[in-house]
Amino acid sequence: MSAEHGITINHVSRSFKGRGAVVQALSDVSLACPEGSFTALIGPSGCGKSTILRLALGLDAPDTGDVMISGMTPFKAARSGKTGVAFQDAALMPWRTVEDNIMLPLDVLGHKRADYLAEVAKLVDLVGLNGFEKALPGELSGGMRQRAAIARALITRPEILFLDEPFGALDQILRRQMNIELQRIWMESRATTLLVTHGIDEAIFLADRVVVMQSKPGRISRVIDVPFDRPRKPALFSDPRFHALEKEIAEALDGQ
């Protein structure tokens, strides 16, 4: 199995205590993302999809079960620079320029900035932010900030890429454009990718398979493979097969 170099989530449970009640955020969840695959996690609010991501990033620890990233614990994988992450709401540092924000992971990992200058230029070009290298996040539009965040996620040439509703704050039109761009970027990097999203169309357009989750307790209810060839074109959004898949996922979300 190539899961050795991908993401492996093994019988993970996690609960939170809040205001007297115990919330079972994840109950015995298992999921394997093989190397080079693109997996989308979709589900209603509170189904634990962001919790999975936080566990995989090492920002949180499971009550039982374990999470392995490229055969390592999440924290070790993060320390060795194997992972990249883009959050909902860009989460750029408002006091750093675009360039400096993109290089933040290097500062944290203790890599030399000088070794990556060509990489930064390439990424700025890839996400289409040429000419804005020295701009502060406050001077950019929402879509540009999100693209800067994607570039930041790619700076370490990650083997594993985590995307937490990266376009959640954007409008539908911009979102479509960003989906097309993300596919292009992903096809160049071929990183094992885990995308958390609320958008059914986004999940189908981008992923090899869509993992549908349910809440109370948070669990995986279905895994649906997406058969379309890449590169997928915008026309796919209006393909009848695309609509059929959308319907199938919507029904799975409704618990049918």
Partner 1 sequence: MASNRTAPERSDALSPIRKLLHSSTLRNWLLLLIIWEIIGQLRLVADGALPAPSAILARLWVDWSDYPPHILATLEGASAGFLIGNALAIAAGVLFAIFPITQRLARGVNVALFALPPIAVSPILVITFSGMTPRIILAAIACYFVTMSATVTGIQQTDRRIVDVVRAYGGRQWKTLVHAQMRSAIPSILAGLRIAAPNAVLGSILAEFGGGGRYGLGVYLIGSLGRGEPDRLWGIGLSATVIAGLAYLLFSLLATRLTGASKAVTVPASPPATKAEKNPLVEAALITVSFALPFLLWGLLLSIMGTPAMIAKTPLGVFDYLFMMPNSPASLGKLAMALSETLPMTMIGMAMGLFFAFALALCSVLYPAIIRGFMPVALVTQTMPLVALTPLLVLILGRGPSVILWITVSVTFFPAFVTMAQGLSMVSRAAIEVPKAYGAGPVKQLWLVSIPASLPYLFAATRLAVPRALLGVMIAEWLATGKGLGNLLNQSRGYLDYGMIWSVAVVSVLISVLFYQIVVAIEHRVLTKRGMAPAQ
Alpha helices in the chain (DSSP H): 49-56, 74-79, 98-102, 104-109, 117-126, 142-154, 172-189, 200-206, 240-253
User: Minimum distance between the CB of residue 105 and partner 1, rounded to whole angstroms?
Assistant: 5
Look at residue 151 and give its three-state secondary structure: helix
User: Is residue 160 within the footprint of partner 1 (CB under 8 A)?
Assistant: no
| For partner 1, the closer CB: 152 or 232 | 152
Token couple for 38: 């693109």
Position 243, amino acid: H
Residue carrying structure tokens 């809440």: 215
| For partner 1, the closer CB: 145 or 176 | 145
**CA dist., res. 81 & res. 79, Å (int):** 5
- N- to C-terminal Cα distance for the chain? 31
**CA dist., res. 181 & res. 146, Å (int):** 12
User: Is residue 92 within the footprint of partner 1 (CB under 8 A)?
Assistant: yes
Environment class of 203 (CB within 10 Å of its CB; exposed 0-12, middle 13-18, buried 19+): buried
User: Is residue 93 within the footprint of partner 1 (CB under 8 A)?
Assistant: yes
User: Is residue 167 within the footprint of partner 1 (CB under 8 A)?
Assistant: no
CB 34 within 8 A of CB 3: yes
State the helix-helix crossing angle for 142-154 and 117-126, rounded to 10 degrees: 140
User: Minimum distance between the CB of residue 170 and partner 1, rounded to whole angstroms?
Assistant: 12
User: Is residue 94 within the footprint of partner 1 (CB under 8 A)?
Assistant: yes
**CA dist., res. 209 & res. 41, Å (int):** 9
Residue carrying structure tokens 């958008």: 199
| For partner 1, the closer CB: 126 or 169 | 169
User: Minimum distance between the CB of residue 36 and partner 1, rounded to whole angstroms?
Assistant: 21
| For partner 1, the closer CB: 92 or 226 | 92
Which of 3, 32, 72, 91: binder of partner 1 (CB under 8 A)?
Answer: 91
User: Is residue 143 within the footprint of partner 1 (CB under 8 A)?
Assistant: no
User: Minimum distance between the CB of residue 233 and partner 1, rounded to whole angstroms?
Assistant: 32
User: Is residue 48 within the footprint of partner 1 (CB under 8 A)?
Assistant: no
User: Is residue 138 within the footprint of partner 1 (CB under 8 A)?
Assistant: yes
- x/- string (CB under 8 A) for partner 1, residues 51-90? ------xxx---------------x--xxxx-x-x-x-xx
Which of 64, 71, 95, 188: binder of partner 1 (CB under 8 A)?
Answer: 95
Residues that bind partner 1 (CB under 8 A): 16-18, 57-59, 75, 78-81, 83, 85, 87, 89-95, 104-105, 107-109, 136-138, 145, 152, 156, 162, 169
